[in-house]
Amino acid sequence: MDIVLGVSMAATTVRLLLIEGADADGVTIEEDTFDVGESSSTGAVEQVIAAIDGTREGAIEGGYRLASIGVTWSDPAQVGALREELAAREVGGVMLVSPLLAAAALAQTVGHAIGYEHIAMLFVEPDHATLAVVEVSDGSIVDLHRRALANAHPEAPREALAAELATMVAALDARGSWADGVFLVGCGTEIVSVKPALEAVTPLDVTAPEEPEMALARGA
């Protein structure tokens, strides 16, 4: 049986998902969260490599085939350190997936499950938000808009952030977007509380991951 490993790496936390199916379309075999315990990238990189090595060993022992490994990140500084360490240890077969593409891949999966042809993805980071329309059939991004956020930092009122994001979603109608629905996903910021504000400004259904903290690992 094929299995896939998705990993999301943050400065102090590493999350992983092990899923059945070469296309990650099966059941979740394992999910875990590791607190790295330091703010530098070193601990996160070490934990990611340990997770990869452990999963490969476990797959062999269990008679599985580890079809793919994808790793994404929330801090751009981390990916360089991880790439160097993977090369130094000759750890191959690892795809480094940008957070935006990991989110788009998850949006494609959600759109396919719902039966959409196109799905709008609102990807919220601590300083920026990206609104993209994803072609569900092949995962391509056919429309993309990115803007800086004034109210994404944790101390800002959630209402102010919701208003900024709602403006972006409302623009879908103004541009005549062909999206069938909106998928909301965050990277390093909490997004569940802003969902009602988005639903109020668009006739489209707004969905979000059931486990927001695991979303990017699943997309990777």
Mean per-residue pLDDT for 197-215? 92
> What pLDDT, on the 0 to 100 scale, is given for residue 155?
66
Q: For residue range 100-109, what is the model confidence (pLDDT) as tens digits? A: 999 999 999 9
- The answer for residues whose C-beta is within 8 angstroms of residue 107's C-beta and 6 or more apart is 119, 121, 134, 183, 185
List alpha helices for the chain, DSSP H: 41-62, 76-88, 99-114, 158-174, 195-199, 215-219
> What pLDDT, on the 0 to 100 scale, is given for residue 39?
53
Mean per-residue pLDDT for 126-142? 93
Mean per-residue pLDDT for 147-164? 79
Mean per-residue pLDDT for 85-91? 88
Report the distance separating Cα 211 and Cα 220, nearest Å: 15
pLDDT for residue 8 is more than 80: yes
Residue with tokens 């949006």: 107
- The answer for residues whose C-beta is within 8 angstroms of residue 11's C-beta and 6 or more apart is 36, 39, 40, 41, 44, 74, 75, 78
pLDDT for residue 196 is more than 90: yes
> What pLDDT, on the 0 to 100 scale, is given for residue 126?
85
DSSP state, 146? E
> What pLDDT, on the 0 to 100 scale, is given for residue 156?
67
Report the distance separating Cα 206 and Cα 195, nearest Å: 7
pLDDT for residue 206 is more than 60: yes
Report the distance separating Cα 115 and Cα 118, nearest Å: 9
Mean per-residue pLDDT for 127-136? 94
Structure tokens at 193: 């509380």
Long-range contact pairs involving 203-209 (C-beta distance under 8 Å, separation at least 24):
203/173, 204/120, 204/172, 204/179, 204/180, 205/181, 206/169, 206/181, 206/182, 207/110, 207/114, 207/181, 207/182, 207/183, 208/183, 208/184, 209/106, 209/185
> What pLDDT, on the 0 to 100 scale, is given for residue 100?
95
pLDDT for residue 160 is more than 70: yes
Mean per-residue pLDDT for 14-37? 86
Q: For residue range 31-66, what is the model confidence (pLDDT) as tens digits? A: 999 888 665 567 888 889 988 998 889 888 888 889
Q: C-alpha angle with apex 118: 100 to 166, nearest 5 degrees?
A: 65
Q: Which of 26, 33, 28, 10 is nearest to 18 (CA)?
A: 28
